[in-house]
Amino acid sequence: MDSSGKATAPAVLKRNAIEATPESFKEFGQVIELSHDGEEFGPQDAQLDLSRGIPRFYIMRLETRSLTFNAITYHSKVTQCLGNVGGHVWYLGIAKGSIVDPKETVPHPDQEVMQSECGHYYVPPHPDDVCVFRISGPKFLKLNIGTWHAGPLFKADAMEFYNLELSNTNVVDHTTHYFKDGTGTVFAIDD
Task: Give the tens place of pLDDT for each residue, 108-153.
Answer: 667 788 889 888 899 899 899 999 999 999 999 999 999 999 999 9
**What confidence score (pLDDT) does residue 108 get?**
63
Q: Write down the pLDDT at residue 158.
A: 97
Q: Is the pLDDT of residue 51 over 70?
A: yes
Between CA 87 and CA 90 the distance in angstroms is: 9
Select the CATH number that applies to the domain covering 17-32+48-96+124-190 from these four: 3.40.50.300, 2.60.120.480, 3.90.660.10, 3.40.50.1980.
Answer: 2.60.120.480
Segment 37-49 shows an average pLDDT of 91
Find the mean pLDDT for residues 5-22: 85
Label each residue of the chain as H, E or C: CCCCCCCCCCEEEEEEEEECCCCCCCCCEEEECCCCCCCCCCCCCCCCCCCCCCEEEEEEEEECCCCEECEEEECCCCCCEEEECCCCCEEEEEECCCEECCCCCCCCCCCCCEECCCCCEECCCCHHHCEEEEECCCCEEEECCCCEEEEEECCCCEEEEEEEEECCHHHHCCEEEEHHHHCCEEEEEEC
Mean pLDDT of all residues in 8-14: 82
Mean predicted confidence (pLDDT) in 60-80: 95
Calpha distance 41→27 (Å, rounded): 21
What average pLDDT does the structure give for the chain?
Answer: 90
pTM of the predicted protein model? 0.90
